[in-house]
């Protein structure tokens, strides 16, 4: 198969070709030529107005649902949705049935992708229940790229501490979504004026911020332990789905101190607020909850100054039986793979295009200690072709589940082709 990409602007922060308009000729999955006005014969020619090409996009937080909940999302439908969104690689949370806690479950996910590469995130504790450890070294050698209990924040500080001590010598990463679940028990949305007005049990910011403080303190203990094997040039702890302005500031200060941490934000947190729940639409019910405009502004500022390293979809498919019911009975979650770039690009505050692309290409791979591909002659193609100015309306959902508030919305910026 021969593919020719015509007159595409290369977007790769820090690369020599960044910002250059070039033709790219790909043959049998390998970049053969990069140049101007190439005359190579091709089976497929990709061209368009304002065409751009970057490294294949990477989403580091996706709820797989398969195995066990295929009616919500199968790996087949997941791949279709990811390709439509421009992703060549995604990292999958372990909250399946059975849980991703054995070599066999890791191998199942690694071998399942056709075009897209699936990266398994293995569980820290058995069944993600926060009680007994999994065989993390065994899972690491089997190909798990990091460890997390996914939907379940690690509540036990001893479990959390020992996980950091366990993962540090093997050069792996702990991912945790900070939430004190005792403070958010029965919570439905952000605790504030809107929750009071509409009579919903709130989830306070401090439930996240207290856990960020706790996790940073425990990490600092591990780093300062004499003879500890901690590589402080790479993150040992990753904060998932940060949503609070104070959390951003705590992480900013910790990075300034040199602690080995990184963080991401879910894309829907960058465009919606608690006000969007006034209509009781369960598609806006997420965890962490949508907060205030002040928090949204702080999240964009954190992305701009590098405090927040990556943007994720937190793609969480839920079927009609889980969403189409009373608000307090509905499950949390939004699907976001197909719309991540369009949403982030449309609502962008303060990020250049190359910085935005960096948050969904280079940074996730660095955080997970994966090889960063290159756009260079002789390398395997791992590319996303997109038009950042293209306006489009989200009208067809490829995921098995339809739980999205973005249906019918018009966005600026769309992926056209994934070549991997």
CA 381 to chain centre: 22
The answer to whether 255 touches 307, Cβ cutoff 8 Å, is yes
Q: For the chain, which residues make up each domain, given as ranges? A: 56-374
Residues with active-site annotation: 314
Sign of the dihedral defined by the CA atoms of residues 400, 403, 407, 410, in that order: negative
Distance CA 138, CA 237 (A): 20
User: Tokens 């050069």 sit at which residue?
Assistant: 171
pTM of the model: 0.97
Distance CA 241, CA 269 (A): 8
DSSP 313-366: --B----HHHHSS-GGGSPP-B--TTTHHHHHHHS--S--HHHHHHTTTHHHHH
Nearest alpha-carbon partner for 66 in 108, 103, 128? 108
Distance CA 309, CA 224 (A): 24
The CA-to-CA distance between both ends of the chain, in Å, stands at: 12
- 268 to each of 156, 176, 257, 294, how far by Cα in Å? 29, 19, 30, 15
The answer to whether 228 touches 191, Cβ cutoff 8 Å, is no
Nearest alpha-carbon partner for 17 in 67, 52, 41? 52
Residue 149 neighbours by CB under 8 Å, 6+ apart: 94, 95, 123, 124, 125, 128, 130, 176
Question: The tokens of 91 are what?
Answer: 């990292």
Three-state DSSP state, 301: helix
Strand arrangement, sheet containing 146-147? 57-62, 87-92, 117-122, 146-147, 174-176, 237-239, 261-266, 310-312
3-state SS track over 114-174:
CCCEEEEEECCEHHHCCCCECCHHHHHHHCCCEECCCCCCCCCHHHHHHHHHHHCCCCCCE
| CA dihedral angle for residue 145, residue 110, residue 371, residue 43, rounded to 10 degrees | -160
What's the confidence (pLDDT) of residue 227?
Answer: 75
Under CATH, what is the fold of the domain 56-374?
TIM Barrel (3.20.20)
Nearest alpha-carbon partner for 74 in 92, 101, 56? 92
Residues in the chain: 420
The 10 Å Cβ neighbour count of residue 100 is 26
The pLDDT tens digits of the residues spanning 1-10 come to 999 999 999 9
Tens-digit pLDDT profile for the chain (420 aa)? 999 999 999 999 999 999 999 999 999 999 999 999 998 899 999 999 899 999 999 999 999 999 999 999 999 999 999 999 999 999 999 999 999 999 999 999 999 999 999 999 999 999 999 999 999 999 999 999 999 999 999 999 999 999 999 999 999 999 999 999 999 999 999 999 999 999 999 999 999 999 999 999 999 999 998 877 788 889 999 999 999 999 999 999 999 999 999 999 999 999 999 999 999 999 999 999 999 999 999 999 999 999 999 999 999 999 999 999 999 999 999 999 999 999 999 999 999 999 999 999 999 999 999 999 999 999 999 999 999 999 999 999 999 999 999 999 999 999 999 999
The answer to whether 88 touches 57, Cβ cutoff 8 Å, is yes
Residue 279 neighbours by CB under 8 Å, 6+ apart: none
- 410 to each of 18, 45, 57, 193, 313, how far by Cα in Å? 28, 27, 21, 29, 18
The pLDDT tens digits of the residues spanning 213-239 come to 999 999 999 999 887 778 888 999 999
Distance CA 326, CA 202 (A): 16
Sign of the dihedral defined by the CA atoms of residues 100, 103, 106, 111, in that order: negative
Q: Where does 199-240 have alpha helices with state H?
A: 206-224
């Amino acid at each position: 198969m021969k593919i020719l990409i015509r007159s595409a602007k290369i977007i790769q922060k820090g690369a020599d070709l960044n910002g250059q308009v070039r033709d790219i000729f790909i043959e049998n999955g390998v970049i053969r030529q990069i140049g101007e006005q190439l005359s190579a014969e091709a089976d497929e020619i990709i061209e368009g107005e304002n065409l751009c090409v970057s490294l294949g996009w990477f989403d580091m937080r996706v709820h797989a649902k398969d195995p066990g909940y295929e009616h919500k999302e199968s790996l087949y439908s997941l791949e279709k949705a990811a390709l439509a969104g421009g992703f060549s690689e995604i990292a999958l949370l372990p909250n399946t049935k059975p849980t991703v806690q054995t070599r066999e479950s890791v191998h199942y996910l690694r071998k399942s992708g056709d075009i897209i590469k699936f990266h398994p995130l293995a569980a820290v504790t058995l069944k993600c229940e926060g009680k007994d450890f999994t065989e993390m070294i065994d899972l690491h050698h089997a190909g798990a790229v990091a460890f997390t209990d996914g939907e379940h924040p690690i509540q036990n500080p001893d479990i959390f501490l020992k996980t950091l001590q366990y993962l540090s010598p093997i050069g792996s990463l702990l991912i945790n979504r900070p939430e004190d679940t005792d403070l958010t028990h029965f919570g439905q949305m952000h605790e504030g004026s809107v929750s009071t007005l509409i009579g919903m049990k709130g989830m306070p910011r401090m439930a996240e911020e207290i856990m960020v403080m706790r996790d940073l303190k425990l990490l600092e203990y591990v780093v300062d332990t004499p003879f500890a094997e901690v590589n402080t040039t790479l993150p040992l702890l990753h904060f998932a789905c940060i949503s609070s302005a104070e959390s951003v500031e705590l992480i900013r200060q910790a990075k300034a101190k040199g602690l080995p941490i990184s963080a991401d934000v879910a894309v829907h947190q960058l465009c919606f607020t608690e006000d969007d729940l006034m209509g009781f639409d369960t598609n806006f019910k997420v965890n962490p909850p949508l907060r205030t405009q002040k928090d949204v502004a702080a999240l964009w500022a954190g992305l701009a100054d590098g405090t927040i390293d990556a943007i994720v979809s937190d793609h969480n498919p839920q079927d009609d039986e889980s969403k189409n019911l009373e608000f307090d009975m509905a499950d949390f979650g939004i699907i976001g793979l197909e719309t991540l770039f369009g949403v982030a690009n449309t609502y962008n505050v303060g990020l250049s295009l190359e910085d935005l692309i960096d948050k969904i290409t280079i940074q996730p791979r660095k955080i997970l200690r994966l090889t960063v591909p290159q756009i260079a002659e002789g390398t395997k193609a791992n590319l996303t072709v997109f038009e950042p100015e293209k306006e489009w309306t989200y009208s067809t959902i490829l995921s098995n589940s339809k739980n999205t508030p973005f249906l019918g919305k018009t966005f600026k910026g769309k992926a056209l082709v994934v070549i991997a």
